[in-house]
């Protein structure tokens, strides 16, 4: 389905912003902003989302470049793992009393 972000009437493209708070952590989505190009998006992201040392690294990506799942299809799309609770450790109860298992 179409990605959110391409709204008629917006002058500049929309970017999604991801910030890595510290070494060893993933980049996490923090919000979005509009910018004329990638460089400006990165600078604006720094000013908008890291005014208090919130990050050591920033990613920006055009929202239109992101492919998303369709929330209306939620049930069908995520159906596969349903009923497969044997994929979780707590499905196996017989080992409950055994140490280090």
Partner 1 sequence: METESTMTLTAPDASARIDAEQEAELQARFDALIEADQRIEPRDWMPDAYRKTLIRQISQHAHSEIIGMQPEGNWISRAPSLKRKAILMAKVQDEAGHGLYLYSAAQTLGISRDEMTEQLITSRARYSSIFNYPTPTWADMGAIGWLVDGAAICNQVPLCRASYGPYGRAMVRICKEESFHQRQGFEILLELSQGTPEQHAMAQESVDRWYWPALMMFGPPDDESPNSAQSMAWKIKRFSNDELRQRFVGMLVPQAEVLGLTLPDPNLRWNEERQAWDMSEIDWTEFNEVLAGRGPANAQRIQHRRDAHEEGAWVREAAAAYAEKQAARERVAA
Residue ranges that bind partner 1, judged by CB under 8 A: 2-12, 14, 16, 29, 31-34, 36-37, 40, 47-48, 51-52, 63, 66, 68-69, 71
At its nearest, how many Å lie between partner 1 and the CB of residue 48? 5
Q: Which residues contact 59 (CB under 8 A, 6 or more apart)?
A: 17, 18, 19, 27
List the structure tokens of 60.
């920006």
At its nearest, how many Å lie between partner 1 and the CB of residue 101? 35
- 8 vs 101, which CB is nearer to partner 1? 8
Between CA 76 and CA 73 the distance in angstroms is: 6
């Amino acid at each position: 389905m179409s990605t959110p972000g391409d709204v008629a009437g917006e002058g500049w493209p929309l970017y999604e912003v991801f910030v890595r708070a510290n070494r060893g952590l993933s980049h996490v989505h923090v919000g979005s902003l509009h910018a004329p190009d990638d460089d400006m998006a990165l600078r604006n992201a720094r000013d908008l989302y890291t005014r208090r040392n919130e990050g050591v690294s920033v990613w920006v990506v055009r929202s239109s470049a992101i492919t998303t799942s369709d929330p209306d299809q939620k049930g069908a799309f995520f159906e596969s793992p349903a009923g497969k609770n044997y994929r979780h450790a707590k499905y196996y109860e017989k080992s409950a009393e055994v140490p280090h298992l």
